[in-house]
Amino acid sequence: MSVLVFADHSEGKFKKTAFEIVSFGKQVAKQAETSLVVLTINAESTNVLSDYGAEKILTIQDKRLNTFNARAYADCIQQAALKENANIVVVDSTNNGLYLAPILAVKLEAGYASNVIDFPASIAPFTVKRKVFSSKGFGLTQIDTAHKLIGLGKNSVGLIEDKVNSVEEAFSPSLNDDDFQITSDSIDKTSGKITIADADIVVSGGRGLKGPENWAMIEELADVLGAATACSKPVSDLGWRPHSEHVGQTGKPVTANLYIAIGISGAIQHLAGVNSSKVKVVINTDPEAPFFKAADYGIVGDAFEVVPELVEKLKEFKSSL
Amino acid sequence: MKILVCISHVPDTTSKINFTEDGTKFDSNGVQFVINPYDEFALTRAMWFKEKQAATVTVASVGSAVVEPTLRKALAIGADDAIRVDTEPFDGYYVAKQLSEVVKTEGYDLVLMGKESIDYNGGMVPGMLAELLGFNFVNACIGLEINNNSATASREIDGGKEVLSCSLPLIVAGQKGLVEEKDLRIPNMRGIMMARKKPLKVIAPIDFSATTATVKYEKPVAKGACKLIDSSNVDELIQLLHNEAKVI
């Protein structure tokens, strides 16, 4: 028995998501009184993973896997799980993780719980807590199959340092043509910008900002905080900001540590997408805006006065640290 | 081209979520049900293929008779016929298994649905269905073109998009971008009248055990009141975020 975690990387580098999933796997392995195995694919160096408890690291090096392919990656993870006799398999909730997980579940004939937000409530029977109804509820899900697949929600358990000496082992799964029926023609990524998916802090603007020309202060605030910028649905519908910045129910989900909503009233569809963020701050002229009911901190005031002031004060604060 | 659009019957976004029977069941009392918003993108794209590329469009749902009004709504939007698998949707694996039988029996070139449902948010049925059938699969799809037997699809990736190509048969899990929100179809009176006469076939489920069970639901703990800070005192906000919330 063992716990297998698939730690994905971006252009060779492991990010917070990978450290969190390894931290999670380590704790689950302790809870189940078994060991942790971490699988990596075409990573440059896996040393950093030992800080979070990765005792055994399986490394796959295969040029065909340089570009993500859901079925091929799922095939790799399945073969690693069988080789390591892993009954609990954990993947992340990035776009790639969400893509490969259901394929992997069928390959392993595993019950799959996605959006898991905490360590297992019990190992036998195996139960995990997950978000349901767009974070308006939680469900305790019991998995009854021999293999159990968990999709860990982003920013759910955080990082837990647990330094170990890791042992690396090369692994060559046998892949076949069926794994590569889909080809990747092009990848278009915004570089040099913090993405909403990666950000710990997200600064978001709504229609209250009156026009796209007023976004400089949002970007400035994001800059000081090292945050990603986002927007409400009306703003992206009006074309003030790109669709890729739209957060909310039909846009991107936000599970940041800090979400700052500026000039956003807080329609239920918007809140459904952002209410998993840990701390929410709202700045709005209207004290009756629904967002004040969902937020932790609020300022009733004009964004055009409050935001520039906040930027100045934050700069002072940051330089005093 | 034969298209199947899988429809999930879900509580409207604005519904109050409550649980009943000691927190073991969703309380559907007074809740209005709708076509899952993500499935609407899929259905609208299917309508486009029907109009521009002469596709036929079937809609399917796994559920008891309570889902029929939702299927009728999809027919009113323009689907040709509907299939209901007469059982409770116990979990994602179970639903995917039931749908795989529908696809095997009827034969489709393209299966479209939303990337997740807004009730249980599993995001598992499309990928599981693809693997059960051995079909190609694109998740989080934000653009789809079909040309004879080949497809070009874009999907959302973290920080951008990727363009993929493959052959049919194909399963696509869609979201906003597959069509724009302003282009989403709503039923008109003529569509509603016609939908009444369109075939809705009820089929028996196949035998399969669910792999998971949600044994208990709970609501998030009530949040404390929002701390209001005077707009002339943003320093206080910074201190609270630093010392109390510890997020900056």
**B248 vs A contacts (CB less than 8 Å):** 201, 225, 258, 314, 317
Q: Among all chains, which residue has been given the structure tokens 């459904």? A: A272
Nearest to B241 by CA among A282, A270, A15: A282
Maximum C-alpha span of chain A: 61
Confidence of residue A193 (pLDDT cuts 50, 70, 90): confident
What is the C-alpha to C-alpha distance for residues B157 and A132, in angstroms, rounded to an integer? 23
Probe site for chain A from B113, B168, B231 (most A CB atoms < 10 A)? B231
pLDDT of B17 > 80? The answer is yes
Q: Do the strands B227-229 and A297-300 form a parallel or antiparallel pair, or are they unpaired?
A: parallel
The Cα angle at residue A26 between residues A20 and A28, in degrees rounded to 5: 105
* A168 to chain B, closest Cα gap in Å: 28
Amino acid (1-letter code) at residue A296? D
Phi, psi of A310, deg, nearest 5: -60, -40
Q: Among all chains, which residue has been given the structure tokens 């990656």? A: A73
The tokens for A190 are 């915004």
Other residues' Cβ atoms within 10 Å of the Cβ of residue B113: 28
C-alpha of A234 from chain center: 25
Q: With CB atoms and an 8 Å threshold, state whether A142 touches B212.
A: yes
Predicted pLDDT at A303: 97
pLDDT of A131 > 90? The answer is yes
pLDDT digits (tens, 9 = 90+) for A236-287: 999 999 988 999 988 899 999 999 999 999 999 999 999 999 999 999 999 9
- In contact, A3 and A90? CB cutoff 8 Å: yes
Mean predicted lDDT score pLDDT of chain A: 96
Mean predicted lDDT score pLDDT of chain B: 96
What is the C-alpha to C-alpha distance for residues B42 and B74, in angstroms, rounded to an integer? 11
- In contact, B133 and B59? CB cutoff 8 Å: no
Q: With CB atoms and an 8 Å threshold, state whether B152 touches A131.
A: no
**B228 vs A contacts (CB less than 8 Å):** 292, 297-300
**B127 vs A contacts (CB less than 8 Å):** 70, 99-103, 105-106
Residue B1 DSSP SS3: coil
> Is the preceding omega at residue B169 within 30 degrees of 0, hence cis?
yes
Predicted pLDDT at A321: 84
* B198 to chain A, closest Cα gap in Å: 30
pLDDT of A310 > 80? The answer is yes
pLDDT digits (tens, 9 = 90+) for B195-239: 999 999 999 999 999 999 999 999 998 888 999 999 999 999 999
Distances (CA, A) of B59 to A226, B103, B206, B237: 46, 11, 19, 51
* B197 to chain A, closest Cα gap in Å: 32
* B10 to chain A, closest Cα gap in Å: 10
Paired with A113 in beta bridges are A150
Please tell me if residue B143 touches chain A, with a CB cutoff of 8 Å.
no
- In contact, B142 and B176? CB cutoff 8 Å: yes
Predicted pLDDT at A236: 94
Percent of chain B scoring above 90 in pLDDT:
95
Range B138-164 average pLDDT: 96
The tokens for B221 are 């703990």
Question: Tell me, what's the ipTM?
Answer: 0.96
Q: With CB atoms and an 8 Å threshold, state whether A133 touches B223.
A: no
* A298 to chain B, closest Cα gap in Å: 5
Alpha-carbon torsion (A100, A8, A155, A140), positive or negative = positive
The tokens for B130 are 């693809």
Probe site for chain A from B94, B168, B234 (most A CB atoms < 10 A)? B234
Question: A273: nearest CA in chain B?
Answer: B118
- In contact, A171 and A164? CB cutoff 8 Å: no
Model pTM?
Answer: 0.95
The tokens for A36 are 């942790």
Predicted pLDDT at A190: 79
The tokens for A19 are 């450290």
Please tell me if residue B240 touches chain A, with a CB cutoff of 8 Å.
yes
Range B94-104 average pLDDT: 98
Confidence of residue A198 (pLDDT cuts 50, 70, 90): confident
Phi, psi of A285, deg, nearest 5: -70, -25
The Cα angle at residue A45 between residues A42 and A51, in degrees rounded to 5: 125
Q: With CB atoms and an 8 Å threshold, state whether A103 touches B19.
A: no
Amino acid (1-letter code) at residue A304? F
What is the C-alpha to C-alpha distance for residues A198 and A10, in angstroms, rounded to an integer? 11
Question: A192: nearest CA in chain B?
Answer: B159
Predicted pLDDT at A197: 87
> Is the preceding omega at residue B69 within 30 degrees of 0, hence cis?
no
What is the C-alpha to C-alpha distance for residues B177 and B167, in angstroms, rounded to an integer? 21
Predicted pLDDT at A43: 95
Predicted pLDDT at B24: 95
* B199 to chain A, closest Cα gap in Å: 31
Q: With CB atoms and an 8 Å threshold, state whether A296 touches B126.
A: no
**A107 vs B contacts (CB less than 8 Å):** 131
Please tell me if residue B141 touches chain A, with a CB cutoff of 8 Å.
no
Question: A105: nearest CA in chain B?
Answer: B128
Phi, psi of B144, deg, nearest 5: -145, 125
Predicted pLDDT at A178: 93
pLDDT of B70 > 90? The answer is yes
